[in-house]
Chains A and B, each alone.
Chain A
């Protein structure tokens, strides 16, 4: 389950994005929004819900992988 962290879009075919999480790859559907390979995104329930600006990716990893919530 890598859905809690941003993954990088490596390929888009029609409305299906292939997303790389380092340890694994997953596919998710793009519903609305302008996405391109190289974008970091958050996926939940098999849909791409949000783009994460590249400068915020490290912040996500820091928060998600440490204590809190």
Chain B
């Protein structure tokens, strides 16, 4: 999986918020969803324009890591670590965000408890929550996946 696909998988659940604000069109939202669910590569400038706030922070992280902002490890470190730190510290918009919103915006490592069609019921900490499992090919109970908002994003090994 290339960095563009990794990025769009982690980022697209947030795109519903951008749509609600009118920052992106229905067509753009569909394009992001289609790319995330079917592993299609979107042009980097397109992603950088839509998710300019994320890329402002990814640029900083890339400099700290001494790597390019489109390096796979940088994108992954952003979503699995840096993004959560920003939310927990209540920086930028998150200063005003209620706890239930922060919880969904954070990326969690979770364990699959049961599978109901396309939906995975996952557990992290003391919490159990359903997420769409459409981005995880042939999921199995007991496997670990990262989750973001209402989606399972990546299988962990």
Contact = CB atoms under 8 A, between A and B. Distances in A.
B128 A32 contact: yes
A19 B124 CA distance: 27
Interface of B: 13-14, 16-21, 26, 29, 53, 92-94, 96-101, 103-104, 116, 118-119, 121, 128-132, 134, 149-151
B119 to A, nearest CB: 5
A17 to B, nearest CB: 13
A8 to B, nearest CB: 15
B142 to A, nearest CB: 17
By Cβ-Cβ distance, the 9 closest A-B pairs, closest first, are A68-B93, A44-B150, A59-B98, A56-B98, A31-B130, A45-B132, A4-B20, A4-B16, A49-B150
Contact of B17 (A33, A45, A51, A69): A69
Contact of A47 (B14, B21, B101, B119): B119
A63 B150 contact: no
B109 to A, nearest CB: 17
A64 B150 contact: no
A4 B93 contact: no
A69 B18 CA distance: 8
Given A1-B19, A3-B16, A69-B18, A59 B97 contact: yes
A1 B16 contact: yes
A45 B150 CA distance: 7
B98 to A, nearest CB: 4
Contacts of A43: 150
